[in-house]
Amino acid sequence: MGEKKVFSTSIDLSCIKELKHLAVDTDKSLGRLLEEAIRDLVEKYKKKLQNK
């Protein structure tokens, strides 16, 4: 996956709660879920920008 770096930000409390529940339900870490979400988001916008 590559080198890891600490990245700090503020996230809406309800989003954090939902993410924690998802982490438990999927048996994945919060970091792993966040990385997956970021990758999906970047891919989504790459496709949108390529279609312009």
Is there a domain that residue 25 lies in?
yes
Is there a domain that residue 1 lies in?
no
Is there a domain that residue 36 lies in?
yes
Is there a domain that residue 17 lies in?
yes
pTM: 0.84
1-52: per-residue pLDDT in tens? 689 999 999 999 999 999 999 999 999 999 999 999 999 999 999 998 998 8
- Domain containing 21 equals 13-50
Is there a domain that residue 32 lies in?
yes
- Which pLDDT score, from 0 to 100, does residue 1 have? 65
Is there a domain that residue 2 lies in?
no
Is there a domain that residue 7 lies in?
no
Burial category of 19 from C-beta neighbours within 10 Å (exposed 0-12, middle 13-18, buried 19 and up): middle
**Domains identified in the chain, total number:** 1
